[in-house]
Amino acid sequence: MDTPSKPEWLRIRPPTTEQFDWIRRQVAHQSLHTVCQEAHCPNMTECWSAGTATFMVLGDTCTRGCRFCAVKTGRKGLSVDPFEPEKLAATVTRMNLRYVVITSVDRDDLPDQGAHHFAACVSAIKQKSPATIVEVLTPDFGGDESLTEIVANSGCEVFGHNIETVRRLQSGVRDRRAHYDQSLRVLLTAKKKNPDLYTKSGLMLGLGEKTKEVEETFDDLLHNKVSFLSLGQYLAPSQNHLPVFRFVPPAEFSELKSKAISKGFLFCQSGPLVRSSYKAGEFFFSSEPIRKSQQSF
């Protein structure tokens, strides 16, 4: 199948602002990684220029090989930097962030798959900057509920894990060790272990999914107590990755957002350039009345 031509609405501005350059220097100085860079995020200019970023801990080498992802892979990841939590906390404080997202590569090579390191990063940020709201975007930890619990009770306010695509397309998109029902269990486990958490998931569109399947995924996520949702266009990082099936128009993203909210999600970011962490703090800073009325599960 020939890949369709990229439409005008997916044009991205080059990163040229002083704020962007300043943040890049801060990240490089502490030898940190950002998912913005590693995953070729199309919103890097907008987010970094606004003084926000999503940090990727546990190295830049993933032990899984999903067909959509630009992050490099290997059987074994980099050695875990024991000072990374403090470096991360120092950078977050220096950037004066009100909201920070911590994500990571998969680390199936580690005994705890990185769960304790995740928790240490959250704790370090909270110690240095207690007012900063922390979102985590985690792997599935191989479905181990005890590892999910460690992160869910780390002090973060939002626990995110992406289901990525509809049930039918899972095996062709994600690594064989990841699957639909396991991702749903991770999200439900996090909520059960810490009922005060907001849980969050994300879907890529344009992989060949049908609208009915997307809405069925909405229902499955809601059934598993997910509060927040992100919907974005899949963009192939290279010719070696899964090709784009179609480019979803902005109007369709708007319709899906309306459907998601009507079904019961508390918050939904939906658009061609939306990624998991795009304007992640907007719910907390622009929807105070909604935040106070969070459902009790």
Cα gap 165→170, rounded to integer Å:
6
Cβ-based neighbours of 234, under 8 Å, separated by 6 or more: 68, 204, 205, 206, 207, 242, 244
Residue 41 labelled as part of a binding site: yes
Query: Residue 283 in 3-state DSSP?
Result: helix
Query: Residue 57 in 3-state DSSP?
Result: strand
Asked if residue 55 lies in contact with residue 122, where contact means CB atoms within 8 angstroms, the answer is: no
| Closest of 205, 236, 217 to residue 67, by C-alpha | 236
Cα gap 182→153, rounded to integer Å:
20
CA dihedral over 128, 89, 81, 103, signed as positive or negative: positive
Residue 36 labelled as part of a binding site: yes
- What does the angle CA 138 – CA 82 – CA 63 come to, to the nearest 5 degrees? 45
State both tokens at 137: 């975007």
Residue 268 labelled as part of a binding site: no
State both tokens at 2: 């020939």
Residue 171 labelled as part of a binding site: no
Residue 121 labelled as part of a binding site: no
Map tokens 């957002």 to a residue: 257
134-to-52, 55, 101, 290 alpha-carbon distances in Å: 12, 11, 6, 19
- Binding residue numbers: 36, 41, 47, 62, 66, 69, 277
In the annotated binding site for [4Fe-4S] cluster, the residues are 36, 41, 47, 62, 66, 69, 277
